[in-house]
Structure formats: structure tokens, C-alpha cells
Amino acid sequence: MKKILLCLCIFLALSSCYSPERDCNQFHTGTFKFESYLNGELVTSTFIRNDSLEIDSFQGAVDTSSVRWINDCEYIIKNLNPKNIAERKPLHIKILTTKKDTYTFEYGLVGDPKKKKGNVTKISD
């Protein structure tokens, strides 16, 4: 019984030291691709981001948003030309993990506790 308890303690100690890779600075600028399901269909959005501006292209429509970095891995985007009330609300985006040319993030409206997750691939610098 003592051996099992000791093994369990060692396992918990080692697993608690794990921290996901987060090299967020390489994703501040560039051209990116985001894929998601919309009404059961896989759709792709591409966007170009510099440090303070993001231009998004989705199904033939182009939107421009301001980007305000909170820290290296979190930022707020706000649509510069909203077409309705929903588009006026800024989004909070937090990069959770990074790996080579992709990152996993969570996002939601500023102040809203509901969050969704997604993955983005960097296409070019």
C-alpha cells in the first residue's frame, strides 16, 4: 500500500510540473488560416495581422479589426466597421498553446464567461 501511495505522489508531482509550450510572439504578425464548422460544413477564414490591425476574409467578405495586445498571449479585437450591434462587441482571445506554425486559443465576447476554442495555422510571415 505504501508503494502505491509513493508512486501516486511521484506521478502527481511530475505531472503538475508540465506546462504547455507558449511562444506567442511569433504569432503577433503574419497571414493565418482558421477552420471551423458552420452548420455542419467546414469553412475557412484567412486573416492578415500586424501588431495593431487584423484584416479577415471569410466567404468573400472582408472585415478590418483593431488589435490590442494585453500581454504576449492575449489580445482584444474590435471590428472597425461593424454592420450590426453584435459586431460592435469586442472579442477577447487567449492563446493557450503553440506548436511550430499553429496555436490553440480560446475566445469569447469581452465580459462573457462563455468561451469557445479553436486552432489557427500560420501560413506565412
pTM over 0.85: no
Give every residue of the chain whose pLDDT is below 50, as ranges: none
pLDDT of residue 86: 83
Alpha-carbon gap, residue 93 to 56, rounded angstroms:
15
pLDDT of residue 40: 87
Q: Which 8-state DSSP code applies to residue 87?
A: H
pLDDT of residue 41: 87
Name all domains of the chain by residue range, CATH numbers in brackets: 20-124 (2.40.128)
pLDDT of residue 10: 59
Alpha-carbon gap, residue 108 to 114, rounded angstroms:
6
Q: Is 65 in contact with 79 (CB distance < 8 Å)? A: yes
Pseudo-torsion of CA 66, 71, 74, 76, nearest 10°?
-30
